[in-house]
Structure 1
Amino acid sequence: MSMFNHPPRDDSDQGIGTLITPSHPIPELSPILRQSYAETFVDFCYTWCPVVHREDLIDDRSPFARSLLLQQALGLLGTTIRPPRLSHQPPRVHYERFKVLFHGNTERNPLARIISIILTYWWSAGPPSVVSMDSQYWWTSLAIRLAQEIGLHRRPCIIHPEDTNVKLPSLDEFPHDRRDNAEIFIHWVRVCEIIGDLSKHLRNRNDETGSTFELAQRLIKWVNALPRRLRLSFSTVTTTDFDRDVHQLHLPYLSAITLLYMSASTQPLPKAYGAAVLSASCVARIFEDLLARGSIAFLPGIGNWYISIAILALLHARQIESLKNVANAQIDILFIALREMSKLWHSARMFLLGFERLLSGFSSDASAASSQTVGNQLSQALELNELNIEDGINYREFFPDATVDTSPLFSVLFTHNPPSIFVEAEWTNDLSLQLQNMFDHPYDDLDFGLAVNDISFPTSAQPR
C-alpha cells in the first residue's frame, strides 16, 4: 500500500548509523553552536513556542542546558532554520541522535523531554500521508501525552474549552523583557481558539457548531482588538514597518477567513467569495514580504496549508477577467513560496503535485476546446458579482487597515460597486473531502518548474 511507502528525505545520510554506537558516544554541542542555535530559536520560534528561555539553553547551571536530548533537538531546529557557516552536523544527524537518546530513555527530566519533543516541530522527516513514527503528528502526540502524565493540562486530559479550567495565558506569566513576544503569543492563542470552533463548523455545518455569521463576527472582533503595533501595515503599496512575527500572526487569521468563505463545488476548484479572495491576496503579500527578506525556513509545516488555501481562492478569482492578471501575479508569488517550503517539507511537495495535476487538467481542457466551445464559454465567464455573498457581513471589516493600495486585487474589489441583490452562498460540508481528493497523491514525479502563468483556464463559469 502506498501509505506505508515512506520515501527518505533528500538529505538522508546513509552513514549516520556509524555515528551512534557505544564506541561513538553522542557529543555535546560546542558552546558557540549552542548559543547560535539558541538565538535562532529565540529569533524565529520563541514567539510561537515560549517553552524555554534562551538563558536556560546556554547557561550550564540550568537543568536544561546540559541535556543531550535538548541539545540535539536544538541543533535540529537551528540547522534547519538558520544553519551556521561554521562546521556543523546536518539536521538529519541531529534527528537520528535525538531519536536514539529519546528511545533510550536517557533524559530523566520530564520537562526537558517534553521541551525537546516540541522543538522538533520545525522538522519534517516524512509526508503527512504516510504512516510513520517520524511525523510531526507522532511527536506532537507524544509531547501531549507526556504533558498529561505530569499534569500540565490539569482537568480534563482531552481539551474542550467549555469544560476546562485552564486559563488563557496572560502577560504576567512571561518575563518582562519578552512582553512583546508574549503579546503576540496571547493573541495567537485567541485566534487559534476561534479556528478550533471553525474546524468543527466546517465538518458539520449546523446550529451547534455556530453560524458562519457568528464565526465571522468573532474574527472581526479579534482583528479589531489587536493593538496598533500588531496590525498589518498594508495600507500602502510597500510595507514600511515590517515585523516578521506580526506577519506570521495574521496567517492563521487570514486562512480562517478564506476557509469560512470558500465552499465545495462539483468543479475541480472550490468556490471562493470576496472575503476569501481578499484574504488570499493578503497571504500572498505576506509571503512576498517574507521572500524579499530571505529564507522562509523558519515557518512550520502549517505554512504549506496557508499557501495552498490562498492559491485555491486566487485560482477561482483568476477566472474573472478583471482579476485575472492581478490574481496571476500573486499566485506566482505563492508558488515560489511553496517551492521554497518543499525543500524542507514533504507536505509542500504533495501540495505542489496536486496543483500541477489540477492546472495541467485545465490546460488540456483548454487546448482541446473548439473555437465554438470557447465562444460559448466567453458568454459564461465569471463576473465580480459572483464573489458577493448575502450573510450580513461587510467583508471590508475583516481588513480594517486595508486600502486600494494594499494590492492590485484590493484596488479592483474595493472600487467595485456590488449590486443590491447578492449571490446566495452554496454552503456545503464536504470542502475538506474535495481538498483531500485534490492533494492526496504520491509526489515522486513532481516537476518543480510549475508556473501558473504558463497555463490557461477555460473562461467558463463551470471549468471542466
Structure 2
Amino acid sequence: MNSPQAAPATLSPGASRAGQRGEKKRRGGEACIICNKRKIRCTLSQGIKPCENCVAFGYQCVPRERKRKHYTIVDAQAVEDLGSSRPPPAPAVPVFSPRDSIQEESNRVQTPRETAEFFADILNSQFSGARAPISTSSAAAICPTVSNLNVTTGIIAPSEVVSTPTRGYLGHSVYLGHELNDHEESAAQDNTDIPHRSLTEDDWKVLHLRRAFDLPPRAVCESLVATFIAKCHPWMPVVEDEILSRLQYGNMNDTPVLLLQAIFMAGSRMQRSASALDHASVQDYYNRAKVLFFANYEHDPMTLIKAVTILQYWNPSGPEHVSIHNSSYWMRIGVGLAFQIGLHRAPVKLPHDNHIRRRIFWSLFARGSLLSAGQGRPRAIHIEDCTINWPSAEDFPANDKISYLFPAYVRISGILGDLTRWYLRGCNDASTRIPEFEAALRNWIRELPGCLRMKGSDGRNLPYDPEARQLYLVYFTAISILYRPHLPSRSTRHSQATIGSTIASSCVARLLEDSLARGDVRDGVAMHAIYALIAGIGALSNYNYPLLWAASQAELKIITLFLAELAKTWQTAKGTLRILHRLQESVSMFKNVPDPPPLVIGDFDTSLLEPFSTDLSRKWPIIIAESAVNPKYRDITAMTRGRAEKVGSCGLNGGTDSELWLGDDTAPIGQVDLSPPSIMSNMFEGISRDSLYSYGNWFLEDSLL
C-alpha cells in the first residue's frame, strides 16, 4: 500500500488546496510591477521577458515581488534599482503599428475603451506641455493593443499579420561561393547586435507636436483616397487593393499610419477641390509622414518602401535645387530599401505577397528611369542586376485596365531610361544600338493592348483616354530623343531637323493641346514638363525650314501655355519655361540661312508611326503632301514600310529631284511671343548655365547655351 504522505509529491500543484494556494500566489508573481499596478494583462505569464507593455513604453520591467519573503523572485539588483531615488525612464513612444498583434478578447483584463483611456492618460501625463492633449480615439489609433479599436462600439477588429521578413538580402554567395549561404543564414539569426528600436521621449514629443497621428475626417479621407486611386495608383500600384477598398469607405483600421499619411499627401497633391484641404494642407500630410519615417516609427520594410515611393509626389522644387524633399531623394531611399530586402531578385520560394513585391519594385524602376531622362542623371536601377520577373496582368487581382496599363508603362519608361543612359555614356556602337532601340519601340507599340490604343481595328480614333495618352507622351518623347535634332550653334550656325523628331515632337504638342482643352493639365506630374521641353526643342529645330516653322510657332505657343498651367502645381515647370525661353533667345541669334541643311529622312523607322493617324501631328500631313510630288520619297508618303531606305539629302530651297520644297519664309522667331506676361513676368531673371544641368540638357548641344 502506498504511503499517503507520498501522494502529494506526485500531484500537480493544483490538485490540492496547498497547490492551489501556491498557484494563486505564483500567478501574482507572473506580472511585472507596472502591469500589476495598472491592472492590465502582463505577458510575463507567457514567458515573454521583458513584457510587451514595458518594452512599448520604455519602462524597466521588474517582476512583481511577493509579500512573503520566501516567495521572492526579484534579484537584489532589480530591487535596489527599483527602490533608488532615480525615477524610472520616461516612456518612449511605443512601437505602434496598426498591424501589431493584439491579445485575444478572452485574455484582456480591461475593456478596449478602458485600455485606450489608460494609454491616453499615460501619454498626456508625460507630455502635458504639448500643443494639444491626446484623445481616447487618438490613443486607440496608435496604441499597439487597441490599434483596431472602434471607439464608438468598443470592438476590436482582427489584426493584419505582418509577414514581411526583416532579414536583409545578401548576395555574397553569387561571387564568393554558395558555401556562404549557411553562414549568412546563421548570421541573420543572431539578433544580439540589433540596437533597441524604442523611441525616446524627445522623439515622441516631436511626433505629437507634428500631429503625426492626426487623421482627416471620414469624408475628407474618402475624397483623398478616391483622388489617389484615380490619379496616382495607376502609375504607382504599391498599395494592396484590399487596403484601398477599405479606405474608400473611411475604414482606416489595420492600415499603418505612415502609409495613411503618405496616401493622404499624394491625394491632396493631386486634389482639385480646395475644400478637401481645409483639414490639413499637402505639406501638413508630408511633414507627418516624414517625421514618422525618420523617427523610426514604422519597422515593416514593405510599408516603409510603399510610403517613400508615394512620397515622391511631394516634389516641392525643381531639380535645379539641391533638396532632401524632391522625388529623386525619396526614390533612391526606396530603391535602397528594396535592395536590402531583395526585391530585385526572383525569390526561390514565391512569398504570399509576391505580386505586390513586383508592383513595388517596378514602380521604383519606372520612376527612376523617368527621373534619369528628366534630369540627365544616372539611373538608380540597372535591369542587368535584377532577376525579378517583369510585371504582368497577373500581378493585379482584378483584370481591369490598370493590369494592362502598368506593365506597358514600365516597359516604355525602361526604354526611355535606356536611351538616356546610352546618350550619357557617349552613344557608343550607334550602328548597333539605334536598331535595337527601334526594335524595342516597335515591339512595344505593336504589343500594346487594344484598350490602350488610340486607333481601333477599323481605323477610327478611339475616345479620349487620359491614361493611355500619358503612355504616348513617353513613347513620342523616346522617338524624339532617338532621332535627336540639332539646334543652331556657334559652329554650325544653322539647325538640322530630323523627320523622326519633327513628327514625334509635333504629336506631343497635339497631346498637350488636348490636355489643355479638357482641363487635365493639373492631373499631370512634374515629368510632363520634360516631355514639353523636348517637344519644344523639336519645334525649334524647324527654324530654318519655312513651312515647318509656321506649324512650329503654333506648337510652341501650346507648349508654353501648357507649362504655364503646369507650373501652378509643379515648380519644375517654371524652370522648364525658363529654359525654353533661353533656347528661343539662343536660336533667334542665328539668321535664316539661304541654304539650310538637309532634312534627315533616311534613318527614320516609319513603322513607329503605323498605329497613328496623320491628324495627330500638324507637320505630318505637310511632310507627306510635299513628299508626294517626289517619287523618291514615297516611303515617307506611304508610312507603311518598316525602315526607310537611305534616300540621301532632302533640301528645302529649290526644285531639283533631290530637294523637298516646304513653302515660303514665315515670321522670324523673334516675333513669336512665348511668354504670357501675366504668368511669366520676372520668371526668366537670374537664369544661369549651371542651372540647366539639372534639367537633362544632355539632350542639347553644349555649344548652344
Report the TM-score, using the length of structure 1 for normalisation. Answer: 0.76
In the alignment, is the contact (CA less than 8 A) between 1:64 and 1:70 conserved in 2?
no
Change (3 A) 1:333 1:121: same
Map 1:279-428 to 2 at 5 A: 279-363=504-588, 365=589, 377=592, 379-381=594-596, 386-391=598-603, 393-395=604-606, 397-417=607-627, 419=632, 421-423=647-649
State how far apart, in whole Å, the 2-side matches of 1:270 and 1:260 are: 17
Residue aligning to 1:79: 268
Quote the RMSD (CA, aligned, Å): 3.5
Change (3 A) 1:278 1:97: same
Shift of 1:192: 2.6
Change (3 A) 1:245 1:64: farther
Residue aligning to 1:435: none
In the alignment, is the contact (CA less than 8 A) between 1:72 and 1:98 conserved in 2?
yes
1:226 counterpart SS class: coil
Change (3 A) 1:135 1:280: same
Are 1:100 and 2:299 matched, yes or no? no
Who wins on radius of gyration, i.e. which is larger? 2
Residue aligning to 1:196: 417
1:194-244 residue CA offsets vs partner (Å, 9 max, x unmatched)? 2233223223222399421221122122212223332224999x9651111
1:372-396 residue CA offsets vs partner (Å, 9 max, x unmatched)? xx6xx452356xxx332333x443x
Change (3 A) 1:120 1:423: farther
- Amino acid in structure 2 at the alignment position of 1:79: S
State how far apart, in whole Å, the 2-side matches of 1:303 and 1:159 are: 21
State how far apart, in whole Å, the 2-side matches of 1:187 and 1:24 are: 40
Shift of 1:423: 3.5
Are 1:165 and 2:356 matched, yes or no? no
State how far apart, in whole Å, the 2-side matches of 1:115 and 1:399 are: 37
Map 1:137-152 to 2 at 5 A: 137-152=328-343
State how far apart, in whole Å, the 2-side matches of 1:125 and 1:444 are: 21
Change (3 A) 1:23 1:117: closer
In the alignment, is the contact (CA less than 8 A) between 1:121 and 1:140 conserved in 2?
yes
Change (3 A) 1:229 1:63: same
Report the TM-score, using the length of structure 2 for normalisation. Answer: 0.52
- Amino acid in structure 2 at the alignment position of 1:422: G
| Matched positions, count | 401
1:317-339 residue CA offsets vs partner (Å, 9 max, x unmatched)? 24311112222112211111111
State how far apart, in whole Å, the 2-side matches of 1:160 and 1:23 are: 41
Change (3 A) 1:234 1:381: farther
Change (3 A) 1:234 1:280: farther
Shift of 1:245: 0.8
Change (3 A) 1:45 1:126: same
Greater RCO (CA < 8 Å, at least 6 residues apart): 1
State how far apart, in whole Å, the 2-side matches of 1:323 and 1:444 are: 29
Corresponding residue to 1:247 among 469, 480, 486: 469
In the alignment, is the contact (CA less than 8 A) between 1:40 and 1:81 conserved in 2?
yes
- In structure 2, runs of 5+ residues without a counterpart are 1-129, 133-205, 348-360, 362-379, 634-646, 651-679, 686-702
Change (3 A) 1:131 1:63: same
1:359-410 residue CA offsets vs partner (Å, 9 max, x unmatched)? 23445x37xxxxxxx6xx452356xxx332333x443x11113334333312
2:541 counterpart SS class: helix
State how far apart, in whole Å, the 2-side matches of 1:234 and 1:279 are: 20
- Amino acid in structure 2 at the alignment position of 1:93: D
- Worse overlay, 268-277 or 47-56: 268-277
Corresponding residue to 1:34 among 185, 203, 221: 221
In the alignment, is the contact (CA less than 8 A) between 1:277 and 1:317 conserved in 2?
yes
In the alignment, is the contact (CA less than 8 A) between 2:544 and 2:596 conserved in 1?
yes
State how far apart, in whole Å, the 2-side matches of 1:71 and 1:264 are: 47
State how far apart, in whole Å, the 2-side matches of 1:58 and 1:29 are: 17
Are 1:186 and 2:186 matched, yes or no? no
1:77 counterpart SS class: helix
Change (3 A) 1:21 1:214: closer
1:110-156 residue CA offsets vs partner (Å, 9 max, x unmatched)? 22221111112222122212222112111001111112222222279
Are 1:229 and 2:451 matched, yes or no? yes
Are 1:44 and 2:231 matched, yes or no? yes
State how far apart, in whole Å, the 2-side matches of 1:378 and 1:220 are: 36
- Amino acid in structure 2 at the alignment position of 1:405: D
Residue aligning to 1:446: 683
Change (3 A) 1:115 1:389: same
| Amino-acid identity (%) | 26
State how far apart, in whole Å, the 1-side matches of 2:324 and 2:557 are: 35
- Amino acid in structure 2 at the alignment position of 1:412: I
